[in-house]
Amino acid sequence: MSELPRAVKYLIIGAGVHGLSTGWHLVRELKARGRETGDDILIVDKTDIAAGASGIACGVVRNFYFQPAMGAIMNESVNIWESDPEAFHFHQCSYIAVVPQTQDKDVESIYERQASEGYESTLVQGEQKVFDYMRTVFPDWRARGLTSLLHEHRSGFAFNKPAMLGIAGKARAEGVRIETGVQVTGFDFQGDGSVRAVQTNQGPIEVEQVIVGAGPWVGQVWEMLGLPNKIDVLGADGALHKDQEMWTYWRLLEGAIQIDPKLYMTAEGKMPPVFHFDSREPLISQKSGKQLNPENGLWGVYWKQDTHGVQGGAAPENLGHSAEVDPYGTASPHYVVGDDFADLWTSGLAHAIGRFEGCYEAYHRVPSGGIGCFTVDSFPIFDYAPGIPNVYVVADSNHGFKMIGVGKEVARVLMGEHSSVLHPFRYSRFAEGDLHPVSNSPYPWG
């Protein structure tokens, strides 16, 4: 590693999607304004580019959001994914969500929002019509009891690490410096409450502006900044909920089966859409033959084609308000998911599509899944840290591999502009009671 500068204008903590995208867009904003850039921007990562959540994410890029403000981020993000699919390893294979009756209204409103914003999608409603549509995609589709389907034609997935290296390449090409093996360990403050220097394992770096993109480690950096771990939230019911935990950790359950990817193609021989489906039908275990869900109990799975087969996940597990983000003492928030997950997920695949019958045997037993750090309302915080005028926090509440556009908006805010896209994610929304609407999805990110 070359010697670290002792002072920089912009220091970005974390080389995941948000740190990298912010660095890349920030240098472009500076150049567009004819300002000096040179060594102005430094991204540091305690381990490596894509060492965190961005390097293990399933990589699903979808706009399936009930909340209009989340949709606005995705519209902007998909424009960026589409701008250079090769560099970002983005596959625009589309995305299909199929859900039962309890979510009919939510799906209708998502479709209407997408239609009004020019995000091309197809809505199908009615049990038989949904089934028939799915049969045109996969002749061996067999899941019943699903009454709404939304097919997003511009969505898809990106390969996680290659995508991050693509953004890093663009940032470096514009002159952004990225240094790995540099861990931020604390902050020195000055009289007005701003950060004067960032302490690292390689010594202090004086800064004008800090951007935090620490992913699941954001709670640790929040604590180093001396920010509160409990806050009051004015609820949609008008009641003040005192002392709510700022962060909740969830274990994202994901895994893969190893099969010849050619066995998983559409009826037309194309790469299949990314799939998500929720169901209340009996889910029969591929392993034991027993029913895995309680009678009428909602369950859901998602999946996509992968290089060596099929990769996907199911609803995550709540780990509470503190979690070992580096469970194996490594920098990557990986977990080995349990056999319960393997059973549920592979049974979900087989429930949906005949060719996956018996795929439990093909489950790939390697570390998979990981940790997500969720905010008090499970939606992102994109804002200056409360009371610290030169620290901007990107805490995406685990929504964000797909949100490559957040960095573009953050860069504009750092130039002193207002971002109507990021405004709904300001920290003060908790005190103001200006919270996001909640859907009927069983997932914490719904």
Ligand X SMILES: Cc1cc2nc3c(=O)[nH]c(=O)nc-3n(C[C@H](O)[C@H](O)[C@H](O)COP(=O)(O)OP(=O)(O)OC[C@H]3O[C@@H](n4cnc5c(N)ncnc54)[C@H](O)[C@@H]3O)c2cc1C
Q: Which residues bind ligand X (CB under 6 A)?
A: 13-19, 44-47, 51-54, 56-60, 183-184, 213-217, 221, 252, 254, 331, 333, 369-372, 394, 396, 398-402
Q: Shortest Cβ distance from residue 185 to ligand X (Å)?
A: 7
- For ligand X, give the closer residue by CB, 107 or 163: 163
Q: Is the dihedral of CA 209, 214, 156, 148 positive or negative?
A: negative
Q: H helices of 9-103, where?
A: 17-32, 68-83, 85-88
DSSP 8-state code for residue 378 = S
Whose tokens are 């005028």? That residue is 389
Q: Shortest Cβ distance from residue 120 to ligand X (Å)?
A: 20
Query: In this structure, what is the dihedral angle of CA atoms 209, 213, 214, 220, given to the nearest 10 degrees?
Result: 50
148-152 and 156-158 strand pairing: unpaired
Question: From CA 402, how far away is CA 391, in angstroms rounded?
Answer: 24
Q: Shortest Cβ distance from residue 282 to ligand X (Å)?
A: 27
Of 114, 108, 21, the residue nearest 63 (C-alpha): 114
Q: Shortest Cβ distance from residue 400 to ligand X (Å)?
A: 3
121-125 and 195-200 strand pairing: unpaired
Question: From CA 160, how far away is CA 83, in angstroms rounded?
Answer: 17
Q: Shortest Cβ distance from residue 363 to ligand X (Å)?
A: 16
Q: Do the beta carbons of residue 347 and residue 283 sit within 8 Å?
A: yes
- For ligand X, give the closer residue by CB, 14 or 309: 14
Retrieve residue 204's tokens.
């202090």
Neighbour tally for 83: CB within 10 Å: 11
Neighbour tally for 239: CB within 10 Å: 10
Q: Do the beta carbons of residue 80 and residue 214 sit within 8 Å?
A: no
- Which amino acid is present at 328? Y
Run of H or E including 252: strand 248-258
184-189 and 195-200 strand pairing: antiparallel
- For ligand X, give the closer residue by CB, 78 or 107: 78
Q: Shortest Cβ distance from residue 164 to ligand X (Å)?
A: 8
- For ligand X, give the closer residue by CB, 133 or 443: 443
How many residues are there in the chain? Answer: 446
Q: Shortest Cβ distance from residue 293 to ligand X (Å)?
A: 22
Q: Shortest Cβ distance from residue 44 to ligand X (Å)?
A: 5
- For ligand X, give the closer residue by CB, 19 or 309: 19
Q: Shortest Cβ distance from residue 77 to ligand X (Å)?
A: 9
95 Cβ partners below 8 Å, 6+ apart?
60, 61, 62, 63, 64, 151, 152, 155, 156, 273, 274, 275, 276
Q: Shortest Cβ distance from residue 68 to ligand X (Å)?
A: 18
Q: In what order do the strands lie in the sheet with 334-335?
A: 121-125, 148-152, 95-99, 274-279, 299-306, 309-320, 248-258, 368-374, 334-335
Question: From CA 138, how far away is CA 146, in angstroms rounded?
Answer: 16
- For ligand X, give the closer residue by CB, 13 or 130: 13
- For ligand X, give the closer residue by CB, 130 or 344: 344
Half-sphere exposure for 429 (CA within 13 Å, toward CB): 21
Phi, psi of 145 (to 5 degrees): 80, 15
Q: Shortest Cβ distance from residue 217 to ligand X (Å)?
A: 4
Q: Shortest Cβ distance from residue 80 to ligand X (Å)?
A: 13
- For ligand X, give the closer residue by CB, 201 or 291: 201
Q: Do the beta carbons of residue 15 and residue 50 sit within 8 Å?
A: yes
